């Protein structure tokens, strides 16, 4: 589904990603962990197509296309969901209206008929129950005055509605409390299917108490220096990152 090969990126003239290799198959949940400043958010941003990063090498092939060649909105239409790609706050536009436009845009791109209001509402109701979001929250202006937990719930709702093939969630910088972590985790677990995949970027081992990843990767100094299964996350919880840094620095 996604094959990242020797991906390199920089900001200004500082190398941040120094050759990332990662393969994600349908049905899999991958966790990307690692100490602060390793490049985790940079990886998510590069895949999202944020402009402040310059890709200097490698490729990221998603369903046969190099996503690095696509405009950010086309990456979304191809079926990649990046939570933070969506607007932070839109006063006067409710989540419902915002989502109707977004869902129908994606459908159009995929050659499907747009949903009419009745169909959209019925679809929305199903997904609202799935991610346990309230009508009251959806009626409010998008993200305006939302608490951290409400933003997360809304983000997971957007993900449920858009039915991405690949979701990339960066949970590092959002100041999540344990309730918000649980919301994200429940959403990821419930939306998991045989033909979609998720990459969760986090430095919180605790998130992985709720999401059971198929693979765990440790990013350090711009490279994936260790990969394993959920046992690796448990080992990290117990031992921290120092031993990984030492191993990686010894090799370098």
Chain residues binding ligand ADP by CB under 6 A are 11, 16, 34, 36-42, 52, 172
Alpha-helical runs (H) found in 38-162: 40-48, 72-78, 95-109, 117-131, 135-139, 148-162
* Closest separation in Å from C-beta 96 to ligand ADP: 32
Residue 11 contact, options ligand ADP, Mg ion, none, Cβ 5-8 Å cut-off depending on partner type: ligand ADP
Residue 37 contact, options Mg ion, ligand ADP, none, Cβ 5-8 Å cut-off depending on partner type: ligand ADP
> Distance (Å, rounded) from C-alpha 217 to C-alpha 30?
7
What is the footprint of Mg ion within residues 29-88 (CB under 5 A)?
40-41
Residue 117 contact, options ligand ADP, Mg ion, none, Cβ 5-8 Å cut-off depending on partner type: none
* Closest separation in Å from C-beta 86 to Mg ion: 18
Number of residue whose CB is nearest Mg ion? 41
Is 199 a binder of Mg ion (CB under 5 A)?
no
Q: Which residue from 167, 220, 172 is spatially nearest to 30, judged by alpha carbons? A: 167
Residue 49 contact, options ligand ADP, Mg ion, none, Cβ 5-8 Å cut-off depending on partner type: none
> 22 or 106: whose CB is closer to ligand ADP?
22
* Closest separation in Å from C-beta 84 to ligand ADP: 12
* Closest separation in Å from C-beta 159 to Mg ion: 19
Residue 42 contact, options ligand ADP, Mg ion, none, Cβ 5-8 Å cut-off depending on partner type: ligand ADP
C-alpha 7 chain-centroid distance: 18
Give the DSSP H or E segment for 179: helix 178-191
* Of positions 85, 172, 196, 202, contacts Mg ion by CB under 5 A: 172
* Closest separation in Å from C-beta 152 to Mg ion: 16
Is 226 a binder of Mg ion (CB under 5 A)?
no
Q: Which residue from 134, 179, 130, 128 is spatially nearest to 152, judged by alpha carbons? A: 179
* Closest separation in Å from C-beta 15 to ligand ADP: 9
CB-based contacts of 185-193 (< 8 A; 24+ apart in sequence): 185/210, 185/211, 186/131, 186/132, 186/156, 186/210, 187/131, 187/156, 187/159, 187/160, 188/29, 188/156, 190/130, 190/131, 191/130, 191/156, 191/159, 191/160, 191/167, 192/27, 192/29, 193/27
Task: State the residues that interact with Mg ion by CB under 5 A.
Answer: 40-41, 172
């Amino acid at each position: 589904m996604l094959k990242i090969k020797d991906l390199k990126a920089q900001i200004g003239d500082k190398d941040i990603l120094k050759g990332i290799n990662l393969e994600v198959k349908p049905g899999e949940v991958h966790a990307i962990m690692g100490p602060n400043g390793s490049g985790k958010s940079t990886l998510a941003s590069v895949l999202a197509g944020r402009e402040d990063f310059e890709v200097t090498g490698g490729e990221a092939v998603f369903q046969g296309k190099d996503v690095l060649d696509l405009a950010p909105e086309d990456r979304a239409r191809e079926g990649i969901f990046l939570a933070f790609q969506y607007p932070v706050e839109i006063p006067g536009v409710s989540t419902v209206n915002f989502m109707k436009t977004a869902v129908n845009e994606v459908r159009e791109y995929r050659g499907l008929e747009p949903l009419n209001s009745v169909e959209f509402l019925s679809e929305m109701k199903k997904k609202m129950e799935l991610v346990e979001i309230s009508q009251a929250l959806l009626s409010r202006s998008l993200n305006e005055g939302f608490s951290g937990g409400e933003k997360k719930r809304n983000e997971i709702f957007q993900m449920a509605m858009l039915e991405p093939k690949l979701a990339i969630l960066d949970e590092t910088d959002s100041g999540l409390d344990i309730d918000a972590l649980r919301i994200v985790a429940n959403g990821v677990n419930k939306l998991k299917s045989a033909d979609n995949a998720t990459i969760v970027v986090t430095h919180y081992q605790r998130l992985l108490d709720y999401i059971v990843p198929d693979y765990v990767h440790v990013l350090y100094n711009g490279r994936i220096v260790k990969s394993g299964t959920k046992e690796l996350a448990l080992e990290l919880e117990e031992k921290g990152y120092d031993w990984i840094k030492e191993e990686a620095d010894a090799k370098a």
